[in-house]
Chains A and B, each alone.
Chain A
Amino acid sequence: MLEIKDLTVEIGGRKILNKVNLKVEQGSTTVLFGPNGAGKSALLMTLMGFSGYDIVSGQILFKGEDITHLSVNERAERGLGIMTQRPPNLTGVKLKDLVKVISNDHSFDTDAASKKLDMERFMDRDVNVGFSGGEIKRSELLQLSAQNPCLYLLDEPESGVDLVSIEEIGTTIDELLSSRSKCSVDHYKRGNSALIITHTGQVLDYVEPDVGYILCNGVVMCRGNPREMLKEIKAHGYQECIKCKQAIL
């Protein structure tokens, strides 16, 4: 589904990602761990094509196609969808109008989806303006469900969210990943694929992960079983991982 090859990225001339190699298989959920400032968010933003993330070298392949230099909307059209941590306020743009535009080319039951995510009373509000942490996440999920991408790029879906909302957000993500999209193929485990950043691992109470990566200082440290990685990180932090990588190098 997604293949990142030797990707090096700079922000304002400063190297943020260094020769990153990472794969997300079709229908699989890949989790990205790493300490603050490791470059996790930068990787997701780069994958979506946001400006300010300068690709110095390397390649991003999506469904076999080189998308390294495509525009943001061209990537969205091909099936990438993102939930960022701090989406901008869109003053004057009503959530219902945005959802309508996003779901333009396929049937989408806005009423049912907004009800399910408890977003009905936000439909006439300006997108993200005055939304709480949980409301932003639910609004993002509503937009993503209208968009129906093949690969979900989710940046810390549980951050800034209260415990009740985490359950709602977690189960919604699980349902979205299990649903069908234009790239769904029958024999795969799930309809859709995901690359999820998580600090706490809370989202993994609701979404079954397949593969884990650890990113430190812009470098992929290791790839492995995500549940074991999480256990290890919880017990020893990221230091063990960094040491281990240094030993290999």
Chain B
Amino acid sequence: MQTGNSLKEKAEKAIEKSAMYGEDFDLNEFEVAAKEVPQTEDLEDLDDEFKQTLLNVGVLTDDKERSGSFLMLDNAVSHSSLKDPNIELMSLHEALEKHDWLKDYSWNLVAVDADKYTAKSYLENANGYFIRAPAGQKSSMPVQTCLMMGHKDVTQTVHNILIVEEDAKLDVITGCTTKKGVERAMHLGISEIYVKKGGVLNFTMIHNWAGDVGVRPRTVIHLEEGASFVNNYILLKPVRSIQSYPTAILDGEGAFARFHTIAVAHPGSELDLGSRVLFNAPNTKAELISRTITTGGKVIARGEMVANKPHCKGHLECHGLVLKDGGTQLAIPVLEANVADVELTHEAAVGRIAREQVEYLMARGLSEEDAVGMIVRGFLDVGITGLPEELAKDIDDTIAQIGKDAI
């Protein structure tokens, strides 16, 4: 294990290190966000505007349908509550104090010196959530977490650790957002996710930022034998720049990972969204499915699969719609096979909505706007379930607006 001192040295050396992809933000232009924030006993006590902000990223204030809730505001925990006694949910700092063994999981999958964003998060001693489903536990309802930036011109640094132990099952919904009125800020989020033998994790992340926000998540998922991880990522609203390239390491025989990415690039947005899978054990499987739309912004849809052991099977699918001139769709699929007996495939298509489809629906009496909306909705429907009704409505409204704007 690396000592704190050696990590610190590494981080300090990397504090100016640019990331491989995405706009190179100068973190000195942002204040470090507050490490003390008002405490919220009950999410229902928040004002309506705040509640709506949470709802728009899938976080319910009425926690009837949730096993636990966690709210991080700027750089500190504002709320943490748990209904299901069989799982653990608390701040990472608290968890590191409680569990001595946890330090081995911290900065284990993500390198502190990967780039300036990981370095900054380490040096700020970033806090975040710790969720653990102990062996054999199956939580009936999802755990929800929200990471919110409450002030403008700040950097939020987050460090999360999620552990699903042997044969446990957990659903997590994470909403990342800015408080209304916060137009410019920087979100850095480190997530280290462990799914042990036979464990199942369904992880849904909804992003809803503002026009001048930079977002740099750094996520690695480690899967053991027979473990399963499904990642849903949804971003439909404007943002300045997101660069994210989560990596799943399939380290045990029969492990499975699926990434669904649904994103819309509005004018002024640059979305550099990828997902990577390393097949490091035999008989592992993965699917990377991305559906992106540009209405004037830039989308870079990356996907990478590296097969290092036999009998692996992976499929990569990047479909991009260009609804308006001025938008860019760039699909970059990478397949790498380092052993003979593997099957990696990819399918990429970028372009406009087929006129034939629109007219087919118009011939049934739909207006052009409704026809485009229906096609866009279908395009984005990759079968993500379990989203709250209110969020589904917000998504519907956004898609309807996209349909309108496209004509």
Contact = CB atoms under 8 A, between A and B. Distances in A.
A93 B374 contact: yes
A242 interface: no
Interface stretch (B3-11, B39-47, B249-257, B353-361): B353-361
A98 B363 contact: no
Interface residues of A, number: 28
Nearest to A128: B360
Contacts of A72: 359, 362-363
B357 A48 contact: no
B364 A143 contact: yes
Contacts of B380: 92
B362 A71 contact: yes
B356 A73 contact: no
Interface string A67-83: 00001110111001110
Given A51-B359, A90-B360, A101 B374 contact: yes
Contact of A76 (B364, B374, B377): B364
B378 A73 contact: no
A104 to B, nearest CB: 8
Contacts of B361: 90, 98
Nearest to B357: A88
B355 A51 contact: yes
B370 interface: yes
Contacts of B123: none
Contacts of B364: 76, 81, 98, 101-102, 143, 147
Contacts of B360: 84, 87-88, 90
Nearest to B367: A73
A188 interface: no
Task: Give the most central of B355, B356, B363, B374: most A CB within 10 Å.
Answer: B363
Interface in A44-82: 48-51, 71-73, 75-77, 80-82
B379 interface: yes
Contact of B378 (A51, A91, A143): A91
A49 B357 CA distance: 14
B366 A73 contact: yes
Contacts of B367: 73
A233 to B, nearest CB: 29
B363 A48 contact: yes
A130 B357 CA distance: 16
B185 to A, nearest CB: 34
Contact of A92 (B354, B359, B365, B379): B379
B368 A73 contact: yes
Interface in B60-100: none
A200 to B, nearest CB: 25
A126 interface: yes
A126 B359 CA distance: 17
Contacts of B381: 92
Interface string A95-110: 0011001100000000
Given A73-B365, A73-B368, A77-B365, A50 B378 contact: no
A92 B377 contact: yes
Nearest to A72: B362
B375 interface: yes
A51 B370 CA distance: 18
Contacts of B354: 88
B398 to A, nearest CB: 16
Interface in B351-407: 354-357, 359-368, 370-371, 374-375, 377-382
A93 B357 CA distance: 11
B350 to A, nearest CB: 15
A73 B364 CA distance: 7
Given A91-B379, A92-B380, A92-B381, A73 B355 contact: no
Contacts of A87: 360
Nearest to A126: B378
Contacts of A90: 357, 360-361, 374-375, 378
Contacts of A126: 378
B75 to A, nearest CB: 40
Task: Give the most central of B370, B378, B379: most A CB within 10 Å.
Answer: B378
A81 B363 CA distance: 7
Nearest to A153: B363
A128 to B, nearest CB: 9
A90 B355 CA distance: 12
A76 B363 contact: yes
A147 B365 contact: yes
Contacts of A80: 363
A119 to B, nearest CB: 16
Contacts of A97: 374
Given A88-B354, A92-B381, A82 B363 contact: yes
A88 B363 contact: no
25 contacts: A50-B356, A51-B359, A71-B368, A72-B359, A72-B362, A72-B363, A73-B362, A73-B363, A73-B365, A73-B366, A73-B368, A73-B371, A76-B362, A76-B363, A81-B363, A84-B360, A87-B360, A90-B357, A91-B378, A91-B379, A92-B378, A93-B377, A101-B364, A101-B370, A101-B374
Interface of A: 48-51, 71-73, 75-77, 80-82, 84, 87-88, 90-94, 97-98, 101-102, 126, 143, 147
Given A82-B363, A92-B378, A147-B364, 20 more contacts: A51-B355, A51-B359, A73-B363, A73-B365, A73-B371, A76-B362, A88-B357, A90-B360, A90-B374, A92-B380, A93-B377, A98-B361, A98-B364, A101-B364, A101-B366, A101-B370, A102-B364, A102-B366, A126-B378, A143-B364
Per CB-CB distance, the 4 closest pairs between chain A and chain B, nearest first, are: A92-B378, A93-B378, A72-B362, A73-B362
